Amino acid sequence: MHTITSATITDVSTIRQLAEDTWWPTYSPILEKEQIRFMLDLIYNEDTIKKQIEEGEQIFLLLKEGDKAVAFAGYSPYVAEPAAYKLHKLYCLPETQGKGYGRILINTVSRIAAGTGATKLLLNVNRHNTALSFYQKMGFDIAREEDIAIGPYWMNDYIMQKPLIP
């Protein structure tokens, strides 16, 4: 049994711990450990997540098994493209992968975005991330490649998009 709740400021430490527990197994095969640590410290520091929640920059959803948070998503309207939403974050604890939680979170975000009139959902995924095939199964197509500098490192991503049905 699972539940999905909107995250609040009281959930910041939970989001940070989920990121810590998912990033290492996800990115260790494709990124250097220094880059993983740098990006976790930059993207998932307490102040950044608090600001995103407080100012509505991103909406976070927590998926829980019983009382334990096991997955999360972060999304927002995509300012650069009207009628689009962006899925910024989607992570499930490794031991829960294959239970459909990623699908459930994507479908939830898709319904919310479509309900606002958005016509597509976008995301970035590292070009070597094994999640690429999962996103394709979820209806996302590669729209283009993008290389993004983050500090001294590069994110070599695909931009993927999925049409939304109102």
Q: 106: closest CA among 135, 148, 131?
A: 135
Q: What pLDDT, on a 0 to 100 scale, did the predictor assign at position 136?
A: 98
Task: Kindly indicate whether the domain formed by 2-163 is annotated with CATH number 3.40.630.30.
Answer: yes
The pLDDT of residue 17: 98
Beta strands in the chain (DSSP E): 2-6, 59-65, 68-77, 84-92, 120-126, 141-150, 153-163
* pLDDT (0 to 100) of residue 1: 85
The pLDDT score that the predictor gives to residue 114 is 97
**Per-residue pLDDT at 165:** 87
Q: What's the order of all strands across the beta sheet hosting 141-150? A: 2-6, 59-65, 68-77, 84-92, 120-126, 153-163, 141-150
Spell out the per-residue pLDDT of the chain, length 166, in tens: 899 999 999 999 999 999 999 999 999 999 999 999 999 999 999 999 999 999 999 999 999 999 999 999 999 999 999 899 999 999 999 999 999 999 999 999 999 999 999 999 999 999 999 999 999 999 999 999 999 999 999 999 999 999 998 7
Q: What pTM was computed for the model?
A: 0.95
